Amino acid sequence: MDSIKGWVHEVRDIGGIKFVIVRNRNGLYQVTLPKKKVSEDIFSFVDTLSREDVIEVSGTFQEARSRDFSTELIPDDIRIINKSATPLPLDPSEKVHAELDTRLDNRFLDIRRPAIQAIFKVRHALIKHARDYLDSQGFLEIHTSKIISTASEGGTELFPVKYFEKQAYLTQSPQLYKQMAMAGGFERTYEIAWYFRAEDHNTTRHLNEATAIDIEMSFIESEEDIMQVLEQLIHHAIKGVVNDCQDELETLGVEIKVPSVPFKRISYDEAIELLQGKGMAIEWGEDLGTESERIIGEEMVTQGHEYYFIKRYPRNKVFYIQPEGRYCRGFDLDCKGLELTSGGQRCHEYDTIVERIEEFGMNPDNFEDYLKIFRYGMPTHGGFGFGLERWLMMILDLKNVRECILFPRDRHRTTP
């Protein structure tokens, strides 16, 4: 006796034969009820089923003569596990189009859609293979506190947390802690966790709570050592996804190419020249904003590079990056015009990091716990923060980063 459990996706009645399409995490199944082959009770019982009822069907699988199914289940019994209310606020069979907001308001129903399940299966595979790669390279997985008392990323706002009688914040990045892990002698660590950013912009690329892969690595010669880990990680993880997720990629109608390594590297100076050459009014030292990133992305894609590094930024990029004259050892990794990663070699000497904090107009007294780690034997080190939702969005060619996280938090959304 065969049996399947799942949700009623659709009921079709074409006279002498009825079909119940059942959906579960493995996909869709056809339950076929030829009037002459099943009991009268079951044949009429099917008419009482509503879409999204949870049922168990027992019977015998046989080969099907159907365009969509290679097998079909001829039922002996259909049992209702739980009825669904009607009408549905969202149609999981995807026959009725729904706007993103409606979908997110009813996310549990949205997730029942095979294409949405596929996104999260790819996300799972991506994390699994990224983790496998880092494990294979001797990185230790750590988890750091998400409640912080000092900002690490200037430029993005903090969410305040009332922490008993003190003021605390939700973390913007594990930055200071991953550096502490280097001071602690772990030498290679990674963390896959959340950032909270109180950024006001409500765009298709920004979340107020995002997931990231952060690594940190000691005894490096330069930021190149970090960039190599990143390009290898991307190469391996995408190879893993292509290997594991053919069905999901087919469901999503996406074909992905494993990017070859090494990735293209361009310097910030070259990026500025390119932008000026395209008529953009941008001066050396300015940030590369969305429009600049888009133009650089177009040019890189024309040259055959989906993934590319932009390195040797001006020294005003971030305070914890090692300065070098008017430049610093920071880099970004962009994909088709979207920034996925920031990273670089960090300052490791006490005097340099104090000067950098002052150079950025901040007060070293507010960094007491952080500064301590530079005084008692800090190795050269560096790392990166890699936005997972943005990466998934680019891999799957999705139009909105909210598609890539189960319960997105944006300017207006704190539910569900």
DSSP state of 5: E
Task: Work out whether 408 is an interface residue with ligand AMO (CB under 6 A).
Answer: no
Parallel/antiparallel/unpaired status of strands 147-148 and 166-170: antiparallel
Among 197, 236, 312, 409, which residue interacts with ligand AMO (rule: CB under 6 A)?
A: 197
Q: Nearest distance from residue 270's CB to ligand AMO, in Å?
A: 20
The closest alpha carbon to 350, from 376, 318, 321, belongs to 376
Query: Two tokens at 66?
Result: 């159907």
**Alpha-carbon gap, residue 125 to 320, rounded angstroms:** 32
Task: Work out whether 206 is an interface residue with ligand AMO (CB under 6 A).
Answer: yes
Q: Nearest distance from residue 71's CB to ligand AMO, in Å?
A: 42
Closest CB to ligand AMO among residues 214, 231: 214
**Using CB under 6 A as the criterion, what x/- string covers residues 335-364 for binding ligand AMO?**
----xxxxxx--------------------
Candidates 199-207, 239-247, 263-271, 363-371; binding stretch for ligand AMO (CB under 6 A): 199-207
Closest CB to ligand AMO among residues 55, 119: 119
Contact yes or no for 172/156 (Cβ under 8 A)? yes
The amino acid that residue 58 corresponds to is S
The closest alpha carbon to 179, from 320, 317, 315, belongs to 320
**Alpha-carbon gap, residue 80 to 384, rounded angstroms:** 51
Contact yes or no for 315/345 (Cβ under 8 A)? no
> Measured at CB, which residue is nearest to ligand AMO?
387
Among 104, 130, 212, 256, which residue interacts with ligand AMO (rule: CB under 6 A)?
A: 212
The amino acid that residue 51 corresponds to is R
Q: What angle do CA 202, 116, 26 make, to 5 degrees?
A: 165
Q: Nearest distance from residue 358's CB to ligand AMO, in Å?
A: 20
Provide the β-strand partners of residue 75.
59
The closest alpha carbon to 227, from 264, 260, 174, belongs to 264
Q: Nearest distance from residue 401's CB to ligand AMO, in Å?
A: 6
**Using CB under 6 A as the criterion, what x/- string covers residues 372-391 for binding ligand AMO?**
-----------xxx-x-xx-
Q: Nearest distance from residue 294's CB to ligand AMO, in Å?
A: 15
Closest CB to ligand AMO among residues 114, 387: 387
The closest alpha carbon to 33, from 62, 55, 53, 7, belongs to 62
Q: Nearest distance from residue 335's CB to ligand AMO, in Å?
A: 10
**Alpha-carbon gap, residue 15 to 332, rounded angstroms:** 62
**Using CB under 6 A as the criterion, what x/- string covers residues 249-268 for binding ligand AMO?**
--------------------
Task: Work out whether 207 is an interface residue with ligand AMO (CB under 6 A).
Answer: yes
Candidates 71-79, 116-124, 210-218, 302-310; binding stretch for ligand AMO (CB under 6 A): 210-218
Q: Nearest distance from residue 384's CB to ligand AMO, in Å?
A: 5
Closest CB to ligand AMO among residues 63, 221: 221
Residues in 146-185 at the binding interface with ligand AMO, rule: CB under 6 A? 153, 173, 175
| CB environment 117-127: b (16+ within 10 A), e (fewer) | bbbbbbbebbb
Q: Nearest distance from residue 402's CB to ligand AMO, in Å?
A: 10
Closest CB to ligand AMO among residues 12, 411: 411
Closest CB to ligand AMO among residues 156, 267: 156
Lay out the sheet containing 166-170: strands in order across.
Answer: 147-148, 166-170, 160-163
Counting every residue written for the chain, the total comes to 416
Q: Nearest distance from residue 388's CB to ligand AMO, in Å?
A: 8
Candidates 100-108, 208-216, 286-294, 305-313; binding stretch for ligand AMO (CB under 6 A): 208-216
The closest alpha carbon to 118, from 249, 240, 22, 6, belongs to 249
Would you call 276 helix, strand, or coil by DSSP? Answer: helix
The label of the residue with tokens 């949870």 reads: 54
Total residues binding ligand AMO (CB under 6 A) = 24
Residues that bind ligand AMO (CB under 6 A): 153, 173, 175, 195, 197, 199, 206-207, 210, 212, 214, 339-344, 383-385, 387, 389-390, 401
